[in-house]
Structure formats: structure tokens, C-alpha cells
């Protein structure tokens, strides 16, 4: 048991200890004590020892194949292709700009304003300082506000028309 262990082996042992805790085989104090030993283990024997009194399903086998641990920075997360993000950000900017003059047309600008808000989201997720996405978002917010104000004014003029004397 003089074989060195790595992060993947220690994490596999931690997983077994967690399952033993969840199953009621060890209490929280015992779990924490064993965790300290397992996480600081250098050799396989350091891990086998704290787990030797547990039932067979929680025994750690040093020769069991363990998948390599991928650091969070290297994990693959599905992302929208950069070209798609750029085109959505640009479209967000265009829709936001279009929403402003259309907002005076009975609040019709609300439609492109909401589209600008939705289209700016992928660009901001990919790169929070994406200029097109930020400007599209701001113009979308202003377009929504202007459209709502114009819609209220239009509805107010229909419900209570100005009196002419």
C-alpha cells in the first residue's frame, strides 16, 4: 500500500464516505474525522485504513479505475459559438435602436425592445463587457420604458380625451 494516490482517488474515497454518512453507517463527527485523513492522504494505505471498518459497499479499492479529475477551468461547457453570439449582440443593438423611434407609434417599439433585451443575453453571458450586447440591453430598457409611457399616454387619450372648448 505504498502506492501514491492522486486527487481522483481521494475524491472517490470521499464519495464513499459521503454515501456511508447518508446511509447512517457513520455519524457527522466520524465523517469529518475520516475526511481529514482521506483528503490529506499521500499513499493508498492512508485511505484504506479509515475505511476498513465500513461495510463492503463503502470499501475503497486502490486498484479500482478512477476517471481523471478535470479542473473546473478545463471542463467543457456547451457554449454558443462566438459567431452566433456576435450576431445576436449586433441584432440586439439594432433592435434596441429600432425600438426608440417606434415607441412613439402607439408603443409598437415594445416588440423590438423586448427582442433587444432577449438577444443581448447570450452576448453578456459569453463576455460581460461585450459592447454591442451592453448597448443593445440599455437601448432595449430605454425602448421598453418609452413604449410603456407612450402606450399609457395613448390609452389615456382614448379613455379620457382632452376637452375642446
Per-position b or e across 56-89, b if 16+ CB within 10 A of its CB: eebebebeeebeeeeeeeeeeeeeeeeeebbebb
Q: Which residues contact 57 (CB under 8 A, 6 or more apart)?
A: 19
- Rounded Cα–Cα distance for residues 138 and 124 (Å): 12
Provide the pLDDT for residue 64: 66
Per-residue pLDDT tens for 28-56? 889 889 888 888 888 888 888 888 898 88
Measuring CA to CA, which residue among 131, 135, 93, 134 is closest to residue 115? 93
> Taking all residues of the chain, what is their mean pLDDT, rounded to a whole number?
82
Res. 141 pLDDT band, cuts 50 70 90:
very high
Amino acid at each position: 500500500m505504498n502506492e501514491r494516490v492522486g486527487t481522483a482517488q481521494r475524491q472517490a474515497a470521499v464519495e464513499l464516505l459521503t454515501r456511508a454518512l447518508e446511509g447512517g453507517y457513520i455519524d457527522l463527527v466520524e465523517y469529518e474525522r475520516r475526511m481529514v485523513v482521506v483528503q490529506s492522504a499521500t499513499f493508498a494505505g492512508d485511505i484504506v485504513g479509515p475505511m476498513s471498518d465500513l461495510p463492503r459497499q463503502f470499501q475503497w479499492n486502490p486498484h479500482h479505475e478512477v476517471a481523471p479529475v478535470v479542473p473546473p477551468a478545463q471542463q467543457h461547457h456547451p457554449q454558443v459559438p462566438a459567431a452566433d453570439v456576435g450576431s445576436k449582440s449586433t441584432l440586439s443593438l439594432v433592435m434596441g435602436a429600432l425600438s426608440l423611434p417606434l415607441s412613439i407609434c402607439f408603443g409598437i417599439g415594445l416588440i423590438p425592445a423586448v427582442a433587444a433585451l432577449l438577444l443581448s443575453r447570450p452576448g453578456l453571458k459569453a463576455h460581460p463587457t461585450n459592447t454591442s450586447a451592453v448597448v443593445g440591453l440599455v437601448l432595449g430598457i430605454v425602448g421598453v420604458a418609452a413604449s410603456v409611457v407612450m402606450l399609457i399616454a395613448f390609452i389615456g387619450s382614448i379613455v379620457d380625451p382632452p376637452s375642446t372648448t
